[in-house]
Structure 1
Amino acid sequence: MVEVSPPYDHADITAYLGNRVVLEALSAIARRRGGEPWDPRQPLLDGR
């Protein structure tokens, strides 16, 4: 994630999307390092 500009994002949509992108990327890295088999039907942020 390079930049999120709050003054141009009045509804915070870009900020929420940026947050989601970073969380998905970190979750994918953590899952890959954990050694669990990956199931594409299961969301990365399922709360486990």
Structure 2
Amino acid sequence: MVGVDVVEVSPPYDHADITAMLANRVVLEALSALARRRLDAATGVPWNPLQPLLDGR
């Protein structure tokens, strides 16, 4: 991944904050995936889909 760009989030037009919350979730998911990939590379232990993405091991 080279970069992540969030566009078209305009709080004045998003009265229920649905778009803002979705944009927040997408950014957090991308950062979590990058952190997990780095942890897997450092420890050599692949992620188990039955565990949380970042379980603090």
Q: Normalising by structure 1, what TM-score?
A: 0.74
Match in the other structure for 1:17: 22
Long gaps (5+) in structure 2: 1-5
1:13-42: CA deviation from partner (whole Å, max 9, x where unpaired)? 000000000000000000000014123444
Q: Which has the higher contact order (CA 8 A, sep 6+)?
A: 1
Q: How many residues align?
A: 48
Two-structure CA RMSD over aligned residues (Å): 2.3
Q: Which runs of 4+ in 1 moved over 2 A?
A: 38-48
Long gaps (5+) in structure 1: none
- Identical positions, percent: 81
Q: Which has the larger radius of gyration?
A: 2
